Amino acid sequence: MITDPYLVPITKSINWSAMSHISALVAGTRGSGKSFLAFSLLVSLSTLPCKTDSLLGTSQLPTQIFAIDLKNADMARLSSLLPDGRVANNKKDAIRVVDSFLNAMNKRMEWINDNAPFGATAKSLQMPLYYLVIDEYSATSAVFNDALTKEDKAMKYHWFSSIHQIMMLGRQLGFGVIIITQQASDVNSGLSSALKEEFGMKVHMGQANAESYRLTFGNEIQIPIESLNTGEGLIWLEGTTDTGYVLPFAAPFINTRDFWSILKKAFARQEDVKYLTSCLNGNY
């Protein structure tokens, strides 16, 4: 039996199928462990398929990573590990990054249409994923919403419509987003309820009140009574936890002393052209 090569381990018993259930929402207050969780997701994603005994996988399907971090914090430091043009820490570069992500997405669509049989998808062809991670998404949206000049208004429109396009059209092509935010509120953040339904994984890190959980998970979800610390959270996975309850979990522990070297190894296969059209399943 062939197991899913796109499985990202969250804990020993919880796995996220990043291709089948594309795009993730990570919410939680400041300091709850959102960015650290995202970093461990990036290591697993960029070295798929995963191995059971280590954070680094076998890297036959290296997810291509793009990152936006307008607060210029941990995520922005990835610019020294990723190819040029993949990481943004200001508004103009954020537009450039999102444009090149969309451009890659459209190129893959054309390539599949021209080369693969009818009905083929990135999943059936076993193509590497592409993920855009946006840290502090609400703060980012606020920066774009603060638009007085004509140019700023154009960028605002461009930003929100691009995020919308990626989330609505990326699924078949293996293009997803990881949105990290303190509050998954709808108001002005561009995270409409319709868009929130597109997430294949939703996580809320740390302790929160009922309203914050409702914003992250929606109204239908039952919240178990748990006391959660930094690096711990509740998780909802499309297809797994649909039946009502979200699951408590602890994020993989990150030892900051050697994590940078792990990231460096994880990003050994970040390339702009090669992985756009590579297929592990050559029998199409």
Per CB under 6 A, 233 contacts ligand ADP: no
Per CB under 6 A, 230 contacts ligand ADP: yes
Q: Which of Mg ion, ligand ADP, none has residue 231 at its interface (CB below 5 to 8 Å by kind)? A: ligand ADP
Q: Which of Mg ion, ligand ADP, none has residue 36 at its interface (CB below 5 to 8 Å by kind)? A: ligand ADP
Per CB under 6 A, 33 contacts ligand ADP: yes
Interface ranges with Mg ion (CB under 5 A): 35
Q: Pick the closer one to ligand ADP by CB: 201 or 205.
A: 205
Q: Pick the closer one to ligand ADP by CB: 33 or 128.
A: 33
Per CB under 6 A, 184 contacts ligand ADP: no
Cα gap 33→31, rounded to integer Å: 6
Residue in the shown chain whose Cβ atom is closest to Mg ion: 35
Of residues 9, 57, 231, 233, which one binds ligand ADP by CB under 6 A?
Answer: 231
Least distance (Å) between residue 217 CB and ligand ADP: 17
- The site that binds ligand ADP (CB under 6 A) totals a number of residues, namely 14
Least distance (Å) between residue 247 CB and ligand ADP: 17
Per CB under 6 A, 118 contacts ligand ADP: no
Of residues 16, 36, 144, 159, which one binds ligand ADP by CB under 6 A?
Answer: 36
Within 10 angstroms of residue 3's Cβ, the number of other Cβ atoms is 8
**What b-and-e string marks burial along 143-164, b requiring 16 or more CB atoms within 10 Å of the CB?**
bbeeeeeeeeeebbeebbebbe
Q: Which of Mg ion, ligand ADP, none has residue 179 at its interface (CB below 5 to 8 Å by kind)? A: none
Q: Which of Mg ion, ligand ADP, none has residue 257 at its interface (CB below 5 to 8 Å by kind)? A: none
- Which residue ranges make up the site for ligand ADP (CB under 6 A)? 28, 30-36, 205, 230-231, 251, 253-254
